[in-house]
Structure 1
Amino acid sequence: MSQLDMSTGQIVANAAESERANFIKRTYVHLAGAIAAFAVIETLLIKSGVALSFMGMLSGSKWSWLIVLGAFMLVSTVANNWAHSGISREKQYMGLGLFVIAEAIIFMPLIYMALVRAPDGHLLQNAAIVTAALVAGLTFTAFSTKINFSFMGRFLMIGGFVAMGLILASIMFGFSLGLWFSGGMILFAAASVLYSTSNIIHEYHTEQHVAASLSLFSSVGLLFWYILQFFMSMGDD
């Protein structure tokens, strides 16, 4: 087990240019790896029939989805704590891996429904293209302006609580949040991507590339989720 001393790292923005570039490269390589692993796991879950069984379980009771969401939030907290661990690199990777698996499971119903509606996969492809384009633009904004967007944290936290309240209410009382909610959440998720991207420069230490990649992966996943939901809601309308 490789022991770490996180106190020896320094804020990325204050590091030497070569060290800063190396950190950013490692972060985005890990992000790409997490996305690839997510795609592989999701494909296996869909093709193995696990997703269909999962959909059957969720349709049995409205409380099933609440239990799944609660479990996801708990696992995400554990994974994030592990990824930020200063004890060992292995524990950081365990956190990232755990979060990727949790994301793949929580995405199963949405991916499955998207494939049922469009077996050729064009809904997923279009959502992925739009997500990639937005992430590229937001990343360019964060790096080119060099503005510290950490001030957005409190607003994102409040917005997150409001969104979660609406989601829980929709599950409990059985109403649809619709196209406008998905559109609003796309803006929220885009702000989250910008915030996370800014943080890897201004808030993270040079030895925290695994935790930084998890943060970015979470934000990109949220953006993809609501872009895909938006496209599916447009089809309904």
Structure 2
Amino acid sequence: MTFNQQQQPYYADTATPQAALAGRAKFIERTYIHLAGAIALFVALEFVLLRTPATLKLAIQMTGSPTSWLVVLGLFMLVGTVATHLAQAARSKPMQYLGLGLYVVLEAIIFLPLLLVAQVLSGPENNIILTAGVTTLATFAALTGIVLATKRDFSWMRSALMIVSFGVLGLIVASLLFGFTLGLGFTIGMIILAACYILYDTSNVVHHYEEDQYISAALALFASVALMFWYVLRLLISLNRE
């Protein structure tokens, strides 16, 4: 969930409208290639981490107490902020790639406990992780298609998303501190919030990013996809437990 995108409409400094459109199309292509690369790296990391005894032990410790989850949440916010800053503010491409890579690695670690639970609950004909992944990517593709087809600008959602996100963060921290459970309704609400983020971020890709910001654009999209995957996974786990 990032809010550092440019909020002024993009205007290409090119000689003809055709050249402007070609430049924008190339930027969008680069953005989604980098997004695909980030998702592939995430999948590869999880494949390795879920088969490494040391990281499985870490995943179990992460779920051991509310305090440990608060520490993880704090580290996620800190490292996520640094990674996002590197990807969006750094002028050198290597630093931008470092930011994107850090964020993917961080997400891979954060997902470990949830993926471990999903792996335990999965059966030969009921692969929860695969189902969640396919559902997330299909939803992402549909929402992306809506933005690309309609060319609508969803940047007006910025303030509302920020307010809701801070409220959600406070609710999660309160649930960890006071021990109450966030139910199925919260999970469904978060899936809807993630869908709004995908619309917002995709709209920024189409309308607001400059053509050299494809790495930071990919990071923003990856963050939204990861958010949706997390809560789709949680929803499927809850349904399988019942």
TM-score by length of 1: 0.91
- 2:27 and 2:212 in contact (8 A); partners too: yes
- 2:121 and 2:240 in contact (8 A); partners too: no
2:41 alignment partner AA: A
Q: Higher mean Cα deviation, 86-95 or 217-226?
A: 86-95
Q: Which runs of 5+ in 1 are unaligned?
A: 1-9
5 Å-filtered alignment, 1:4-153, equals: 11=10, 16-120=20-124, 122-153=127-158
Which segments of structure 1 move beyond 6 Å, counting only runs of 4 or more? 12-15
Q: Higher mean Cα deviation, 141-150 or 114-123?
A: 114-123
Q: Deviation at 1:112?
A: 0.7
Q: Deviation at 1:11?
A: 2.4
Give 2:3's aligned residue. none
- 1:24 and 1:209 in contact (8 A); partners too: yes
Q: Deviations over 1:66-96 (max 9, x none)?
A: 0001001110100011001342011000000
Whether 1:200 aligns to 2:205 is yes
Give 2:4's aligned residue. none
- 2:86 and 2:96 in contact (8 A); partners too: yes
Q: Which runs of 5+ in 2 are unaligned?
A: 1-8, 15-19
Alpha-carbon distance change, 127 to 75 in structure 1, aligned in 2, over 3 angstroms: same
Q: In structure 2, the residue corresponding to 1:84 is in which secondary structure?
A: helix
Q: Deviation at 1:50?
A: 3.2
2:71 alignment partner AA: I
Q: Higher mean Cα deviation, 30-39 or 43-52?
A: 43-52
Give me the whole-angstrom Cα distance separating, in 2, the residues matched to 1:17 and 1:195: 21
Q: Deviations over 1:73-122 (max 9, x none)?
A: 11010001100134201100000000000000011111111001115461
Give me the whole-angstrom Cα distance separating, in 2, the residues matched to 1:230 and 1:25: 32
TM-score by length of 2: 0.90
Q: In structure 2, the residue corresponding to 1:103 is in which secondary structure?
A: helix
Give 2:169's aligned residue. 164
Q: Higher mean Cα deviation, 96-105 or 171-180?
A: 171-180
Give 1:5's aligned residue. none
Q: Deviations over 1:36-73 (max 9, x none)?
A: 00011111111012342113322443200000010011
Give 2:5's aligned residue. none
2:231 alignment partner AA: Y
Q: Deviation at 1:13?
A: 7.3
- 2:60 and 2:113 in contact (8 A); partners too: no
Give me the whole-angstrom Cα distance separating, in 2, the residues matched to 1:133 and 1:60: 33
Give 1:219's aligned residue. 224
Quote the sequence identity (%): 46
- 1:189 and 1:222 in contact (8 A); partners too: yes
